[in-house]
Amino acid sequence: MRCSYIKKNGGQCEAQSIIDSDFCFFHDPKLENEKKEAQIKGGQSGKVILKSPLPIITISKIEDVTLLLSDTINRVRSGEMDVKIANCLGVLSGQLIKAFETAQIENRVEVIEREILERKTTYNN
């Protein structure tokens, strides 16, 4: 059944009414307090805060990312870390690994280019 609320423009609310009511959650006058609480929580419901700060770790090579991910997995499994934070760390770790891999490729290309240039110089002399 549709909500019985009539909007200012004369149209009826399109939402489904809740059980044992002629109105949806937002238009049921009996649920005004619950509606206000939901609105207050609305901006905070997705925010996750750690109970204590995580230790700072230095990540300078791919192996360090492996240790970070292992630690993150263990913290999620023990309930010490929220899944949203773990997902964020996972995404950032993936980006960091790509950056490390790109740097390694650039270094290899630089070495190869240097070797080619040296061979050309030696061959031309």
Which pLDDT does position 47 carry in this prediction? 58
Q: Indicate if the pLDDT at residue 2 is higher than 60.
A: yes
Residue 43 pLDDT grade (very low, low, confident, very high; cuts 50, 70, 90): low
pLDDT by residue (tens digit) across 56-102?
Answer: 889 999 999 999 999 999 999 988 888 999 999 999 999 999 999 99
**HSE-up of residue 119 (Cα within 13 Å, Cβ side):** 6
Check: CB of residue 37 under 8 Å from CB of residue 50: no
Lowest-confidence region among 40-44, 65-69, 85-89, 107-111: 40-44
Check: CB of residue 58 under 8 Å from CB of residue 64: yes
